Structure 1
Amino acid sequence: MSHTVVRGKPRAAQLYVDGVLDAILLGQGVKPDPTTRATVTFSQIMLHCLKEKPNDEFMTNGATGEVITNEEVLRHAIPLARSLMALGAKGKYGILFMRNHQDTAAIYFASLFSGMIPFLMGANTTAFELTHFLKLIEPSYIFYDQEFHETLQEAMKGCPDLLTSTVISDCPETVKKFTQGHSDEVEGFEVASADMDDPIMLLPTSGSTGMPKAAILTQRGLVAQLATPWMYCTKFPTPTARTMVLTGIEWATFTMYVTASVAYHVPIVMTTKKVTAEHVIELMEMYRPTWAYFSPSFAVSLLALVRPDQLSSLETLVLLGSPATPELMATLQKKLPKDCHLCDGYGTTETHGYIAIPDREAPLKSNGWPLNFMHYKIIDESGQELVGPNQTGELWIKSSCTIKGYLKNRASFDETFTPDGWYMTGDVFHVDENHRISFVIRRKFSFKFRGCHVAPEEVERVIGSVPGVHESVVCSSDNGPVAAVVLQPGADVTREHIHKAVEATLSEHKRLHGGIAFVASLPHTHSGKLKRSECRTLIADLLKRGECC
């Protein structure tokens, strides 16, 4: 029995991780068993797996074509880790503010190895948002790309008392100076000691209803999640030929797929370029990834341009980040290879990653079974647990993979977790007759009109089914639901088209009585989700100007 599993049988992917843990323990002269396996840290796993096959490809930089081996990553990461250890960085906070490239990967692993706790921040961060993070994190070290220098300097004006060391991550001279006197020798290196429940990194939460929080991820939580990308695979140690990683370091998916690829010896392709549909098509044609994941909104923009032959290398495509419409899933399925596993995954930062991922036999609309290292239950609006299949209610999770808390924000943690440790996802799911779950609505975003509940996501899914719509957001108004809609370039979509689709599909109280406004873009969080608080402000301004009709 795999030490992380609490329900049912372990999957082959989890048993493979057990084998990795056993190899690490035997190398330490420790007898492997479930108790000792539970002491092997995530950092130890990463070091062991990178060392295990030094000549294997770790990644290809899709922007430059450079191929980086495991040994090359280690020889960059280890001097950085040794330098951080010598400076006493273990247990201190750092910030990583970078795009996806080989230097990012090396500094990411150096942080894990050294015991510094990095806050991972994406390329779209503004100076205003960075000031918020600097005040919250109070980092001792900041690693950043040269292109973000002005943003960092502007943000630091708002933190005059902050004492921090900065390193330009993509400047070899600066990095060389920081690591001076520290060897890149791999064999003699050991990661910093850690307890399984120690913080390992901080990730921004979505911030969809306000400024982002910093979620505290642990060694134990990441170990539990390590097998999830390959949960339904059967070929090991390399379950797929190449993974394409498109999300920035601030996404839980970056950590999930980069580290799982290391553990299972799957090469990855990443890019420093802006992730557009055109660039992803270039990556697909040049590097032929077999495994990829997209946000639904990105998939919509890709479908307008991509041909089936350009997707023909894909064996698995996962949609993540927000619910996918049935129309999007059906359209994608038509363009993907016949045997490609298309699935609508579900996860959160608060669980270090996945909560459910569909198996190959799952219906297209399903998110799959809740993973076997989690306890879960379905709760109705009165707070009572609903038992058995064919139930609909809020999903609650209890697991070793839930976060330790939010940095300096106990109140938000207490709002999200029960005193006995259940994570209240805020998402309503339907449990089918086979105990698979399917997303219904995000409870916290719903509102009432004419005494009836309106789930914005439900209306947004219908709007998104109209050909030519890129994305939308729905909010409440005095007159009823109102929408701001972004169209795809060149799309000929009218308000009448959208009203017809909504009225043909949804009940009277869910229709867009407040009107529709067309906008160039909508505000998003660092993880690509809608900033609903800012969307409400945007729509209020549109209503005042009379642009919603």
Structure 2
Amino acid sequence: MASSPEDLRALDALLTAPGAPFAVVADEAGRLSYAEGPRTLREFAETTWAFGDTPFLIADSGRLTYGEFFAGASALARRFLAAEDEGGYGLRPGDRAVIAMRNHPEWQVGFWAAQLAGLVAVPLNSWWTADEIAYALDDCRPRVLIVDGERYERVAPWLAAAKDGERPWTLVCHEEGREAVGPRVERYGDLPVADPLLGPPDVDVSPEADATILYTSGTTGRPKGAVATHHAHMAAIANPRYFAALSSLGRGVMPGQGPLLPGLLTFPFFHVAAFTGFYAAMAAGGTLVLMRKWDTDAALALIREHGIGSFGGVPATALQLLARADELDDDLPTLTMFNTGGAAAPPELVARLTARFGDRVEPRNGYGLTETLGGISANFGEQYRRVPGSVGRPAPAVEARVVDPGGAVLGAGEVGELWLRGQCLIRGYWDDPGATSAAFTGDGWFRTGDLAEISSDGLISVVDRIKDMVIRGGENVYCVEVEGVLHGHPDVLEAAVVGVPHPLLGEVVAAVVRVRGGSGLDSAGVREFAARGLAGFKVPERVVVQEGALPRNATGKVLKRELRRGLL
């Protein structure tokens, strides 16, 4: 088994040599990209037809084989582009298609139909409130919405307020007792049965064309649309395939050989960690088992029922799964891969995994952002057990450096801001050139806002965050957004939001609020007010209400470190 830095470098050289599957080339500016592979998400999706009757998605709300998936996505893509007087939606390549629903199989059909039609897919956070969704809809100006019944209720007020000529088409699935009616509204279940012989519409999609807009909160408190091209997504597809190949070779197994066991994917589809998971499955013809919502006992039952080989989830769900397996003395004999992402994995997680399963189950974690379309580095196997605080080495088409506040590159072991450059980076933020120029240097380096160090062996370790952000169970919560909502209460004079440690979720949101003298507002009232305008995971779980002023430094900035210490 190859586990030393020298062994892994030798295997990397094998996989990235000229003519090898993961060879890279540099453009005139020195930016790296993969030399081989599909050029667009449309081309990638077209390769999945070859998997035919192999199960692709298994959920409590339905199942799809690869053949059914591709036929459905192709038929919907044709409907998108057909003229309205021919029973279609009259869309054009480049139009935005919003997808907002739980992890139903139809999510994937809608997303890939958009790619086959040359549209720009806009997956929205399914936990957002009606106001948060409305902001994104106003921002991206979609021409079609693909939603489930629960999300339809949240978009219905926005649709009702839209002018007749500006109202997008809305396709609703899984109404679950809700009535979806109105102009330009269709039910997914009423669509004609897909003809598997027709294929997708004839559309020319360029690698440089926009493929997705993924919303991520920014330091201004407003969600920003991270825009990625097809070329960038090709790297997001290649990165997990490279790490899987490197892992296989390190274990003495040729990539692609051996049984392909189903995977349990617990990330919501709108999350970039899920992109890493379903891209990897689709590239190999793998089967993904989905959950409507996280439930530890249900997850264990699914692992046993389907013979799950690979688990993917945030550290919080991973820890719950391990704890419950211990309680039940369940060895989960089919499990061979344990992936965590979406948040920093506590170093003790790999030790607990090893104590439970020995070296039979390979641990894996990594590092990625919305702006990198998922994982750009991975730490796995014996290396992960040896260096549990690292997120691994970057993928071949990614460069990483650590810089000081002036932008000077720091040496091995020195802590500074992590900068990234490579094919998988977004091109910028939707209609926000100011945010784009603030995030990217002139020569293409992305400022992550994370403090990190890179060892002499090239291993990245993220040590802190510069950005004022809380990561609660894998979901990013930007403090300024929550503070903005709290400041909207008439009795609130000051509000400061910080993250405090949590043994399961990593962090939870906490707030210190200064109220007017004599106000009857208490912590429960603050939380109730916040819940009116924020998704549940953003609502502060700990609230301190006081009449005294918040501590500030000489420049007037709130001393959040001092507040955080008082909340511990």
2:315 equivalent to 1:296: yes
**Which residue does 1:27 correspond to in 2?**
none
Which region of structure 1 is more displaced relative to structure 2, 301-310 or 66-75? 301-310
Please tell me whether the aligned partners of residues 215 and 405 of structure 1 are also in contact (alpha carbons under 8 angstroms): yes
Q: What CA distance in whole angstroms lies between the structure 1 residues aligned with 2:544 and 2:438?
A: 28
Per the normalisation by structure 2, the TM-score is 0.72
SS in 2 for 1:9: helix
**Which residue does 2:95 correspond to in 1?**
92
Q: What CA distance in whole angstroms lies between the structure 2 residues aligned with 1:190 and 1:225?
A: 25
Please tell me whether the aligned partners of residues 395 and 425 of structure 1 are also in contact (alpha carbons under 8 angstroms): yes
SS in 2 for 1:433: coil
Equivalent of residue 340 in structure 1, options 361, 386, 396 = 361
After superposition, the C-alpha distances for 1:398-453 in whole angstroms (9 at most, x for unaligned) are 11111011111121111211122110111111222312111100122399xxxxxx
Q: What CA distance in whole angstroms lies between the structure 2 residues aligned with 1:124 and 1:346?
A: 23
**Which residue does 1:423 correspond to in 2?**
446
**Which residue does 2:75 correspond to in 1?**
79
Q: CA deviation at 1:42?
A: 2.3
Please tell me whether the aligned partners of residues 312 and 336 of structure 1 are also in contact (alpha carbons under 8 angstroms): no
2:32 equivalent to 1:9: no
- Decide whether aligned partners of structure 1 residues 530 and 382 sit closer, same or farther in structure 2, where only a CA change above 3 A counts: farther
- Decide whether aligned partners of structure 1 residues 297 and 461 sit closer, same or farther in structure 2, where only a CA change above 3 A counts: farther
**Which residue does 1:24 correspond to in 2?**
none
Q: 5+ residue gaps in structure 1? A: 1-6, 20-33, 448-455, 479-515
Please tell me whether the aligned partners of residues 542 and 548 of structure 1 are also in contact (alpha carbons under 8 angstroms): no
Equivalent of residue 168 in structure 2, options 159, 164, 167 = 164
Q: CA deviation at 1:385?
A: 0.6
2:123 equivalent to 1:123: no
What amino acid does structure 2 have at the position aligned with 1:374?
V
Equivalent of residue 416 in structure 2, options 382, 387, 393 = 393
Please tell me whether the aligned partners of residues 314 and 336 of structure 1 are also in contact (alpha carbons under 8 angstroms): no
Equivalent of residue 263 in structure 2, options 243, 249, 259 = 243
Please tell me whether the aligned partners of residues 281 and 310 of structure 1 are also in contact (alpha carbons under 8 angstroms): no
Per the normalisation by structure 1, the TM-score is 0.74
**Which residue does 2:44 correspond to in 1?**
45
Q: 5+ residue gaps in structure 2? A: 1-10, 24-32, 83-89, 181-185, 249-253, 471-478, 480-497, 514-522, 551-565
- Decide whether aligned partners of structure 1 residues 545 and 385 sit closer, same or farther in structure 2, where only a CA change above 3 A counts: closer
Considering fraction of residues, name the structure with more strand.
Answer: 2
Q: CA deviation at 1:156?
A: 3.4
Q: What CA distance in whole angstroms lies between the structure 2 residues aligned with 1:254 and 1:15?
A: 30
After superposition, the C-alpha distances for 1:140-160 in whole angstroms (9 at most, x for unaligned) are 001111232221213435655
Please tell me whether the aligned partners of residues 221 and 402 of structure 1 are also in contact (alpha carbons under 8 angstroms): yes
2:462 equivalent to 1:439: yes
Q: What CA distance in whole angstroms lies between the structure 1 residues aligned with 2:410 and 2:35?
A: 37
Q: CA deviation at 1:529?
A: 11
Q: Aligned runs of 1:277-356 on 2, under 5 Å?
A: 277-307=296-326, 309=330, 311-356=332-377
SS in 1 for 2:49: helix
Q: What CA distance in whole angstroms lies between the structure 2 residues aligned with 1:266 and 1:16?
A: 23
- Decide whether aligned partners of structure 1 residues 10 and 416 sit closer, same or farther in structure 2, where only a CA change above 3 A counts: farther
What amino acid does structure 1 have at the position aligned with 2:261?
A
Equivalent of residue 274 in structure 2, options 239, 254, 257 = 254
| Count of matched residue positions in the alignment of Structure 1 and Structure 2 | 465
Q: What CA distance in whole angstroms lies between the structure 2 residues aligned with 1:14 and 1:445?
A: 42
Q: CA deviation at 1:14?
A: 12
Please tell me whether the aligned partners of residues 345 and 367 of structure 1 are also in contact (alpha carbons under 8 angstroms): yes
How much identity, in percent, do the aligned residues show?
A: 23
2:228 equivalent to 1:217: yes
After superposition, the C-alpha distances for 1:381-407 in whole angstroms (9 at most, x for unaligned) are 3321113x2222211111111101111
After superposition, the C-alpha distances for 1:51-84 in whole angstroms (9 at most, x for unaligned) are 21212221222x25x5421111122111101111
**Which residue does 1:28 correspond to in 2?**
none
- Decide whether aligned partners of structure 1 residues 178 and 187 sit closer, same or farther in structure 2, where only a CA change above 3 A counts: closer
SS in 2 for 1:345: strand
Q: CA deviation at 1:208?
A: 7.4
Q: What CA distance in whole angstroms lies between the structure 1 residues aligned with 2:548 and 2:306?
A: 49
What amino acid does structure 1 have at the position aligned with 2:138?
K
Q: CA deviation at 1:255?
A: 2.2
CA RMSD in angstroms comes to: 4.0
Please tell me whether the aligned partners of residues 94 and 139 of structure 1 are also in contact (alpha carbons under 8 angstroms): yes
